[in-house]
Structure 1
């Protein structure tokens, strides 16, 4: 039975590796690129991030924003990112067709330059890593499946390493045995850190990520506090009496939805009675909230200014320690701090992933985090390389040389292991059903062929 288990793990390990290796190489290389996106962007976008405008007149931040809106017609400001010196202030501007632009303002709030967000280094690496730069539900599921099966590869490799002869000394080892030894040894060393890296990346995934996020929302005691899910509202009494009953523009038919959304956003940044951004920043300082932080405008007449510090913003210069993460809500008319929610208010699930995501991205504890992640990723690529070499040496011409199909019954241990993995990773569990069905069909076909030969 034990030999049967070993051979079955070997067979599934082989086929899983065969099908997902191209994806794993792509995800690993793009992951390495994303590890160093801040270092790359600080150099590639030096002018936008740290440069100065030729215009030296000192403006207020509100004047700078108005100038940006005049310069980039049909764009509105949806978010303002205020970073620590020497970084410039970054505006996220949204076009009426839904596209975005990053605009940078220097210390005088004069325009320095702009970027197309879609093609910044960080966003390209993120798009490749999460959806192969193609996007769509099917591709997102495919990426998640590759991550799940990678965990199976690592764990099944551990089983075969200690049950087989990979690490046993051979008097005169062949080239295949040498490759297999390195494949098994390095795979064993990186299994735990690699599984941690994969699991801390799953909150972004299409299937399991949605499940984790919905669980965190439905159970605030272990996940995301209600205050963070449902922001408070501004005090309507703070709106000037003369304009209090003015109606916001409403969406018309679908063909004009984008235009109306733009009109709505313009109204949000220019509404009579709203405090200026400079006034808001003064209130933020009084609340002892230091840079870096981002400001999101209210989305309607009852909305609030959302001022937040995040540990996984994906913006160079904006990330903070998970323990400094905070979301605050300010009245859009009075500037009063209404409420705030920080890391200490999260449930265990919220804290776990607030801590885990920057660990995955490589900036939880500075350069040491980056270096460890880089070493693990490079070793993982070597494991793939030695695995491929081992197979190619064993491979016969015009044949996959796959491990043989087995007719023996599945052991309780094997079934328990696969069920546990399927429960931990639901999409993996669903794919596992398909794999079992394929194995049953192949087994039945082989039995039929053997029966016909016997006749």
Structure 2
């Protein structure tokens, strides 16, 4: 039975690797790129991030925002990112079509430069890593599926390593045995860290990510605290993962608070009695929220200012320690702090992923985190390389040379293992059903061919 299990794991390991290897290479390389996005952007965007404008007149932040609106017609400010020195302040401006523009203000709140968000290094790496820069539900599921099968590859590889002869010393090892040994040895070393990296990235995935977040919201004792809130303002990446889909409470003041919200508010000209951003920043300071933080504008006249510090923003200079995370809601008319949620208020599930996501992104504990993630990713690419070489050394000409398809019954251990993985990763479970159906079809095809040969 052990030999049967080994061959079956080998066959599924082979086909899984054959189909998802291109995706795994893409995800690993883009992950390495994203790992160092802050270092790249600090050099590529020195002018926008750190330089001063030739205009030296001191403006208030509100005057700087008004000037940005006049410079970029049809755009209004939807978000302000207030960073620590020496970084410049960054505005996110949005037009009626939903197009965005990043505008940078220096210490005098004069315009330094602007960017198209679609093509910044961090956003390109993130889009490739999460959706292959194509996007769409199907692609998002495909990326998640590749991550799930990568876990199967690692765990099945561990089984075959210790049940087979990969690490056993051979007197005169062949080229294939040498490649297999390196493939198995490095795969064994990186299995635990690689599984951790994959699992800490799953909160952003399409199916499992939504499941995790729904569980965190449904059970506040283990997830995120329940707040009495109105409909959500926006799904903004700068809001911490644990609270990004929370519904912010409504502002109570203002002459237009009782009216239905507009599609886009003219934030800079302050038509509806909204407090100035400088006044809001004073209120933020009074609430003991230090830089860096982002200010997300209300989307309608009943909305609130959302001020957040997050450990997983994807914005250079904005990430903080998970323990410093905070999401605060301020009345847009009075500036009064309505509610505030911090890391200490999260349940164990939300705390785990708030801690795990920056570990996945490589900035939980500084450069050491980056280096460790980089080493694991590079070794993973080597595992793929040696696996490919191992296959080539056994591959026959004009043949796929796949491991044999066994007709014997499945062992209880194999079934339990696959069921556990299928329950832990629902998308993997769904794909597993399809894989089993394909195996059954191939088995019937083989029997039919044997019957014809016998005749």
**TM-score, length of structure 1 as denominator length:** 0.94
The answer (yes or no) to whether the contact 1:127–1:133 under 8 Å persists in 2 is yes
Q: 1:56-79, CA deviations, whole angstroms, 9 ceiling, x for partnerless residues?
A: 000000000000000000001000
* Residue 240 of structure 2: aligned partner: none
Partner Cα separation in structure 2 for residue 60 and residue 315 of structure 1: 24
* Residue 155 of structure 1: aligned partner: 155
Partner Cα separation in structure 2 for residue 139 and residue 272 of structure 1: 42
Shift of residue 356 of structure 1? 0.6
* Residue 182 of structure 1: aligned partner: 182
The answer (yes or no) to whether the contact 1:268–1:297 under 8 Å persists in 2 is no
1:183–1:62 distance in 2 versus 1, CA, 3 Å:
same
Tell me if 1:232 matches 2:249. yes
Q: Which runs of structure 2 are paired with 1:342-353 in the superposition (5 Å)?
A: 342-353=342-353
Partner Cα separation in structure 2 for residue 139 and residue 284 of structure 1: 40
* Residue 48 of structure 1: aligned partner: 48
The answer (yes or no) to whether the contact 2:62–2:268 under 8 Å persists in 1 is no
* Residue 256 of structure 1: aligned partner: none
* Residue 115 of structure 2: aligned partner: 115
Partner Cα separation in structure 2 for residue 158 and residue 22 of structure 1: 22
Mind listing any 5+ residue stretches in structure 1 that lack a counterpart? Answer: 251-260
Partner Cα separation in structure 2 for residue 248 and residue 270 of structure 1: 17
Shift of residue 351 of structure 1? 0.6
Partner Cα separation in structure 1 for residue 169 and residue 103 of structure 2: 62
Partner Cα separation in structure 1 for residue 452 and residue 221 of structure 2: 62
Partner Cα separation in structure 2 for residue 416 and residue 247 of structure 1: 57
SS at match of 1:402: coil
The answer (yes or no) to whether the contact 1:166–1:180 under 8 Å persists in 2 is yes
The answer (yes or no) to whether the contact 1:79–1:296 under 8 Å persists in 2 is yes
Partner Cα separation in structure 2 for residue 88 and residue 267 of structure 1: 20
SS at match of 2:266: helix
Partner Cα separation in structure 2 for residue 249 and residue 308 of structure 1: 23
Tell me if 1:298 matches 2:284. no
Q: 1:319-358, CA deviations, whole angstroms, 9 ceiling, x for partnerless residues?
A: 0000000011112122121220000101111111111110
SS at match of 1:294: strand
SS at match of 1:266: coil
The answer (yes or no) to whether the contact 1:268–1:298 under 8 Å persists in 2 is no
* Residue 94 of structure 1: aligned partner: 94
* Residue 275 of structure 1: aligned partner: 275
* Residue 215 of structure 1: aligned partner: 215
SS at match of 1:341: strand
Partner Cα separation in structure 1 for residue 300 and residue 409 of structure 2: 63
Partner Cα separation in structure 2 for residue 434 and residue 169 of structure 1: 38
Answer 1 or 2: which has greater helix percent.
Answer: 1
The answer (yes or no) to whether the contact 1:268–1:300 under 8 Å persists in 2 is no
The answer (yes or no) to whether the contact 1:268–1:299 under 8 Å persists in 2 is no
1:42–1:394 distance in 2 versus 1, CA, 3 Å:
same
Q: 1:240-291, CA deviations, whole angstroms, 9 ceiling, x for partnerless residues?
A: xxx44784575xxxxxxxxxx2xx3216861342211111111111112110
Mind listing any 5+ residue stretches in structure 2 that lack a counterpart? Answer: 228-242
SS at match of 1:226: coil
Partner Cα separation in structure 1 for residue 151 and residue 366 of structure 2: 26
* Residue 72 of structure 2: aligned partner: 72
The answer (yes or no) to whether the contact 2:257–2:301 under 8 Å persists in 1 is no
SS at match of 1:270: coil
Q: Which runs of structure 2 are paired with 1:239-250 in the superposition (5 Å)?
A: 239=254, 243-244=255-256, 247=259
What root-mean-square deviation, in Å, do the aligned CA atoms of Structure 1 and Structure 2 show?
Answer: 1.3
SS at match of 2:316: coil
* Residue 27 of structure 1: aligned partner: 27
* Residue 427 of structure 1: aligned partner: 427
Shift of residue 299 of structure 1? 2.2
1:192–1:249 distance in 2 versus 1, CA, 3 Å:
closer
**TM-score, length of structure 2 as denominator length:** 0.94
The answer (yes or no) to whether the contact 2:101–2:114 under 8 Å persists in 1 is yes
* Residue 235 of structure 2: aligned partner: none
> Does 405-414 or 220-229 show the bigger shift?
220-229
The answer (yes or no) to whether the contact 2:137–2:206 under 8 Å persists in 1 is yes
The answer (yes or no) to whether the contact 1:79–1:295 under 8 Å persists in 2 is yes
Partner Cα separation in structure 2 for residue 68 and residue 52 of structure 1: 15
* Residue 10 of structure 2: aligned partner: 10
